[in-house]
């Protein structure tokens, strides 16, 4: 007689239960900001200065007082030359300053005129007569600073091409908060307030192993010599890669045979020095699925059948001090349950608060006429003209779908899709 089926657990419920177990690792590391990409901040980053520190020029050109250029064509003596990183003096009334992008604005100046809108005039005594014309209307003679003169051909508006002190970051502002996962842009932002080292969450230590007597490591047996029924271990490659992208330290424990004793030994050995033991395969309820009884013998196990397709079997438990997560063996199931459940879990271990992927609305360019009882994650790809294309074979064993796709449609249970329907798209860039 078949045992009574437990109802399948909704994904959101499974994720909430899983995250409730993922208490952030206590220790932190201090790392160079240069090496912190992908790590999760363990500190708030507070700016001790304003950025930019001073008003400065957004372009190469001339700093002026707008009151001195009430009409195009005015000629002003060039009082100083200000380069990025240099100091400057106040701008005397009736003069201009040659200025470059990022250079500090001299006191008194209130606009930058683009160099394209200016004409530099050489100092009159050094030029052949007639070439440095004094435009009409500039009646007065100007002091000569040895930098020549400039004709301003466009009337400036106050504040134009000026970057204001503090317009990016105010002094005392919390620029990044603890729990933020660092990206190239946030590393730059931290550096812009002078932080050369950052306190980040310790890397989770993850032991990874695959189960299955049919598995062969690529490189050990050539394709032509594979025995009948043997398959190459593909899960190991994407699981390891995804863990590394999530800043984990991975101990690769290889393939564990479908034997109870070997499985227990592998789990036991891994439990002491790892935060998480992650396995693929062997978590269904067949007689050759030894992971379940082995974890139960050594610790505790919550085996869930999750109401998603693909990816139904999923196990969470503990082996000694380590967390245990057992993923299904089917490659696409393994890939997606990692993305939907393990990724949030390992990010939460690092103290990241907002770990849920963010779907966006997109238009289907395909039909999905047969609704499923489970919430489905369909492998799709963004079409260059907009909308989503569906991969033809959505079987949980067809890893080509995940390699071809650039995301999934999160399709609610019982939902069919017609071309043009709005669907929820989760990009793999959100999941990996």
Give me the residues that bind Mg ion (CB under 5 A), please.
212, 281-282, 329
Total residues at the site for ligand AMP (CB under 6 A)? Answer: 17
Q: Answer with the entry of ligand AMP, Mg ion, none that 233 interacts with (C-beta below 5 to 8 A by kind).
A: ligand AMP
In whole angstroms, what is the distance from residue 207 CA to residue 307 CA? 27
Q: Answer with the entry of Mg ion, ligand AMP, none that 280 interacts with (C-beta below 5 to 8 A by kind).
A: ligand AMP
- Specify the stretch interacting with ligand AMP by CB under 6 A; choose among 40-48, 82-90, 103-111, 232-240: 232-240
- The answer to whether residue 50 forms part of the interface with ligand AMP (CB under 6 A) is no
In whole angstroms, what is the distance from residue 28 CA to residue 201 CA? 5
Q: List Cα–Cα distances, 368 to 267, 307, 396, 413, in angstroms.
A: 41, 19, 16, 12
In whole angstroms, what is the distance from residue 176 CA to residue 156 CA? 37
Q: Answer with the entry of ligand AMP, Mg ion, none that 407 interacts with (C-beta below 5 to 8 A by kind).
A: none
Token pair of 324 as six digits: 């245990």
Token pair of 403 as six digits: 């390699």
Map residues 320-359 to x or -, x wherever contact with ligand AMP holds by CB under 6 A. --------xxxx----------------------------
CB 289 → ligand AMP: shortest distance, Å? 6
Neighbours of 421 (CB within 10 A): 17
DSSP reduced 3-state for 245: helix
Neighbours of 185 (CB within 10 A): 8
* Nearest-CB residue for ligand AMP: 329
- Residue closer to Mg ion by CB (options 103, 315) is 315
- Residue closer to ligand AMP by CB (options 35, 213) is 213
- Residue closer to ligand AMP by CB (options 212, 344) is 212
- The answer to whether residue 214 forms part of the interface with ligand AMP (CB under 6 A) is yes
Q: Answer with the entry of Mg ion, ligand AMP, none that 214 interacts with (C-beta below 5 to 8 A by kind).
A: ligand AMP
| 240-299 binders of ligand AMP (CB under 6 A) | 280-282, 284
Q: List Cα–Cα distances, 169 to 36, 51, 173, 257, in angstroms.
A: 21, 5, 7, 56
The full length of the chain comes to: 432
- The answer to whether residue 212 forms part of the interface with ligand AMP (CB under 6 A) is yes
285: left (phi over 0), alpha (psi -120 to 50) or beta: alpha
CB 286 → Mg ion: shortest distance, Å? 8
- Residue closer to ligand AMP by CB (options 186, 233) is 233
In whole angstroms, what is the distance from residue 431 CA to residue 362 CA? 17
Cα 313 to chain centroid, rounded: 29
Reply yes or no: is the peptide bond before residue 150 cis, omega within 30 of 0. Answer: no
- Residue closer to ligand AMP by CB (options 111, 399) is 399
Residues that bind ligand AMP (CB under 6 A): 210, 212, 214-215, 231, 233-236, 280-282, 284, 328-331
């Amino acid at each position: 007689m078949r045992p009574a089926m437990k109802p399948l657990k909704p994904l959101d419920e499974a994720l909430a239960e899983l995250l409730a177990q993922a208490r952030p690792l206590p220790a932190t590391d201090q790392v160079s900001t240069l090496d912190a990409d992908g790590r999760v901040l363990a500190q708030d980053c507070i700016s001790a200065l304003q950025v930019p520190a001073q008003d400065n020029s957004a372009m190469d050109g001339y700093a002026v007082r707008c009151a001195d250029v009430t009409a195009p064509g005015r000629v002003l003596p060039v009082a100083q030359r200000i380069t990025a990183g240099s100091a400057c003096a106040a701008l005397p009334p009736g003069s201009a300053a040659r200025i470059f992008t990022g250079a500090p604005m001299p006191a008194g100046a209130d606009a930058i005129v683009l160099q394209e809108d200016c004409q530099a005039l050489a100092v009159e005594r050094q030029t052949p007569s007639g070439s440095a014309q004094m435009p009409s209307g500039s009646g007065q003679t100007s002091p000569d600073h040895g930098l020549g003169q400039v004709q301003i051909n466009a009337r400036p508006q106050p504040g134009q091409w000026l970057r204001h002190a503090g317009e990016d970051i105010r002094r005392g502002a919390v620029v990044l908060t603890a729990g933020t996962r660092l990206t190239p842009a946030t590393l730059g932002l931290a550096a812009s307030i002078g932080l050369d080292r950052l306190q980040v969450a310790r890397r989770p230590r993850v032991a990874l192993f695959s189960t299955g007597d049919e598995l062969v490591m690529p490189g050990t047996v050539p394709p032509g010599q594979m025995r009948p029924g043997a398959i190459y271990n593909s899960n190991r490659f994407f699981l390891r890669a995804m863990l590394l992208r999530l800043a984990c330290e991975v101990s690769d424990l290889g393939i564990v045979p479908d034997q109870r004793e070997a499985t227990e030994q592998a789990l036991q050995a891994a439990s002491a020095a790892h935060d998480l033991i992650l396995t693929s395969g062997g978590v269904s309820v067949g007689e050759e699925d030894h992971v379940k009884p082995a974890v139960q013998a050594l610790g505790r196990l919550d085996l869930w059948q999750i109401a998603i397709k693909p990816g139904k079997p999923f196990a969470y438990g503990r082996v000694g001090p380590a967390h245990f997560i057992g993923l299904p063996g089917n490659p696409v199931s393994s890939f997606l349950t990692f993305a939907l459940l393990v990724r949030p879990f390992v990010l939460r271990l690092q103290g990241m608060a907002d770990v849920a992927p963010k779907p966006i609305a997109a238009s289907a360019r395909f039909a999905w006429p047969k609704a499923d009882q489970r919430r489905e994650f369909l492998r799709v790809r963004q079409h260059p003209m907009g909308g989503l294309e569906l991969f033809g074979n959505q079987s949980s064993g067809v890893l080509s779908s995940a390699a071809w796709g650039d995301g999934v449609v999160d399709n609610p249970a019982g939902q069919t899709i017609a071309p043009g329907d709005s669907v929820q798209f989760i990009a793999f860039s959100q999941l990996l």
